[in-house]
Amino acid sequence: MITCTQTYCHPEESGCAEEGGGDGTKCKFRKKAANQAESGKAAALGPSEVTELPAGFRVSWTGSPLGAQDMRLLTARSRVLCIGLVGAANAGKTTFLALLYALLRQGQGIPGYRFAGSYTLPGWEAIASYLTFKESRTDIQFPPHTSRSTGRDEGRVPGILHLALRSEDEPAAVLDVLFTDAPGEWFTDWIIKHDSDTAAGARWVYQHSRAFLLFADRERLTGTQRGQARGEIKELADRLTHRLGSRPLGLVWTKADVPNERPQFLTDISQHLQHAAPRHYREFEVSVELSGADRWHPQVLDSVAWLLDTHCRELGTTPPVPVPSTTEQDLFLLRRQVIR
Ligand SMILES: Nc1nc2c(ncn2[C@@H]2O[C@H](COP(=O)(O)OP(=O)(O)OP(=O)(O)O)[C@@H](O)[C@H]2O)c(=O)[nH]1
Ligand SMILES: [Mg+2]
């Protein structure tokens, strides 16, 4: 049997760890194991020849963005809400996440929720550090393009950032919220051919997310590529709404600081989405620009709060059955428990 050279990976039991649970046919470690088995060298391998496992790799407390396997740890402890960030390359997805974290770090809150921790603080810091003021620079820097080749998942699972939140209405329960930070190219491939190999990551996001934010780049919608940009957003909207069900969908207009001379393009996209009639739909306008911080920054927090509220409402909680006040029955037997 061909297994894997990596001690933490057991493809025969839980799928390929490198591919986020896939069959591992393309995994470099598995191929290596196969070659070793063929040449009969595998059994002779000494400890120094086995590829070393980087310290802390594949455990959830490294602080790096999570992978599919880590998600299982979270689902074992609580209700997990995965929010899929969908949009073309350069649309502003990673910057949105960086801004969200920078606002939380500054003490601002997601309305109705309290920050209760994160397994991926260094991951958040890594992207937010770009937006953080540095003495040597006065201009805003942005997080780098999310590359399709980086990460340990070979492009099948996005980097996932985690927040633990407590709802002010239900402080006893911790809500684990995951945000996918995937490269825009995945979604472009998904539009072109939804079942292609290169769209596997986008399909993963669609399948695992319980709520979505679709990113529309206002800057691109005013430039020379505006026609193509509008087409892409509409096609992404079609893919998302195809089997959306009751999952909430927020449209995020990014780069709100950039003047848009083609308001018709924006209206057109908005109408297209409303025509598809998602059950829960709202629009938000965001920008990192400090000049419009009062207007644009709160919408980052509001968009997340709206997704969480809508998701929790959709899950529903059974209302307690009212006890009639005039009853002859034993009060002990009438005790009701609301199971959440
Ligand atoms: N003017 C302005 N530009 C922005 C803003 N947010 C992002 N940008 C620009 O858009 C670029 C892309 O932003 P990202 O957040 O990396 O976009 P992304 O969707 O994560 O892109 P991929 O990782 O390639 O999928 C940044 O490098 C900035 O140049 C904004 O609020 N205002
Ligand atoms: Mg990105």
What does 40-107 look like in DSSP terms, one character per residue? Answer: T-GGG--GGGSPPPPTTTTSGGG-SPB-HHHHHHHHHHS-EEEEEEE--TTSSHHHHHHHHHHHHHTT
Alpha-carbon distance of 203 to 192, in angstroms, equals 13
Query: Residues enclosing ligand 1, CB less than 6 A?
Result: 87, 89-95, 142-143, 145-146, 183-184, 254-255, 257-258, 287-289
State the architecture of 60-315 in CATH terms.
Answer: 3-Layer(aba) Sandwich (3.40)
* 260: helix, strand or coil: coil
Quote the radius of gyration of the chain (alpha carbons, Å): 23
Mean pLDDT of 254-258: 96
Alpha-carbon distance of 206 to 52, in angstroms, equals 34
Q: How confident is the model at residue 72 (pLDDT cuts 50, 70, 90)?
A: confident
Alpha-carbon distance of 251 to 98, in angstroms, equals 18
> What pLDDT does 157 receive?
64
For residues 259 and 70, which has the higher predicted lDDT (pLDDT)?
Answer: 259
Which residue is closest in CA terms to ligand 1's atom 5?
255
CA 79 to the chain's CA centroid = 15
Mean pLDDT of 131-144: 72
Place of tokens 């960086």: 98
CATH 3.40.50.300 residue ranges for the chain: 60-315
What atom in ligand 1 is closest to the CA of residue 181?
20
For residues 268 and 32, which has the higher predicted lDDT (pLDDT)?
Answer: 268
> What pLDDT does 69 receive?
67
How much distance in Å is there from the Cα of 195 to the middle of ligand 1?
A: 27
